[in-house]
Amino acid sequence: MKKIILLLVTLFTVNATAQQLAFSIVHFKAHENSQNDIAELYEKHYADVKFKSGGIFLERLWQGRENGNTHRFVWVWELGNGGIEGEEIKFKNDAFWAEMNNYVDTWGKHSSGRFLSWKDGDVSKFPFGHLWDITPKDPVAFKKAHDKIVKDASDIFKDRVVGFGTYDINRPNGASHWVVIAEKDTDGHLTMHHNLENNYAKEMKVYFENRGEVEHVHDFVVQVLKRYE
C-alpha cells in the first residue's frame, strides 16, 4: 500500500508536457456493505479541495469485473500540473489512506496511461461507463476512426462521456489502449448499440474499415459514484 501511495504522489508531481491529460487507476475489493462508508470518506476528504487540474473519481465495478475487485479509484490530471492546491495534500492523503484501509479487503491492479480523445459528459445522468480494453494494430488510424464516428453520431453520444486513450504502465491483461462510452444503465447501452447498428449502418461500416485490426482484450462496466474536480 505504501508503494501505491508513493507512486501516486510521484505521478501527481511529474514534470511533463502540460495540457496532456493522464490518469492512474487502482482496483480494490471492498469489505461487504462498505460502499456507503467509502463514499462518505471520499466526501469528507475531497469535496472541498481545489485540484490544480483534473480530479478524483470513485467507481463501482459491475459486469466484467475481475479477480474479485468491486471498486476502483481514478485520478486524472494534466501532466506537470497535478495534485491539490495548498499544503494540505500530504495530510489529506495520509488521513485518507489510513481510513481507507479499514474498508478494503485486498488491493488489486494499478495502471496508468493517457487520454488521446475525450468528450466529457454529464455523469449524473449517464453514470455507467462501458469500457473496452483493446490493442489496435494501428493506434493512429483507430483514433481517427474513433473521432469520426463520435462526430458523425453526435446525437447518440450527446451529453455522454466518450473517450479513447492508452495504458502506458502495467497494461491490464496486455491491453495497450482503452475506449469508454457512458450511458444511464444497461438498457441505455444496449439501446445505443441498437441505434448505431440500425440508424448509422453506413457510418459504422466506415468506422470498422478505417480503424484497422483490433484485438479485443476485455470489457467491463463501471458506475461513477463520486466525482470531484
Burial of 196 (0-12, 13-18, 19+ CB in 10 A): middle
pLDDT in tens, 171-207: 999 999 999 999 999 999 999 999 999 999 999 999 9
pLDDT single digits (tens) 102-132:
999 999 999 999 999 999 999 999 999 999 9
pLDDT at position 48 is 79
Residues of the chain with pLDDT under 50: 1-18
**Cell matching residue 83:** 495534485
Find the angle CA(62)-CA(63)-CA(68) to the nearest 5 degrees. 70
Stated pTM of the model: 0.87
- Angstrom distance (rounded) from CA 62 to CA 219: 11
| Long-range own/partner contacts, residues 36-43 (CB < 8 A, 24 or more apart) | 37/103, 38/71, 38/100, 38/103, 39/225, 39/226, 41/96, 41/99, 41/100, 41/103, 42/225, 42/226, 42/228, 43/226
DSSP letters for 119-170: E---TTT--EEEEEEEEES-HHHHHHHHHHHHHHTHHHHTTS-EEEEE--BS
| Distance (Å, whole) CA 155 – CA 136 | 26
For residues 44 and 58, give the distance between their C-alpha atoms in angstroms, rounded to a whole number. Answer: 13
User: For strand 162-166 and strand 214-228, is the pairing parallel, antiparallel, or unpaired?
Assistant: unpaired
Q: What domains can be seen in the chain, in order of their start residue?
A: 2-114 (3.30.70.100), 116-221 (3.30.70.100)
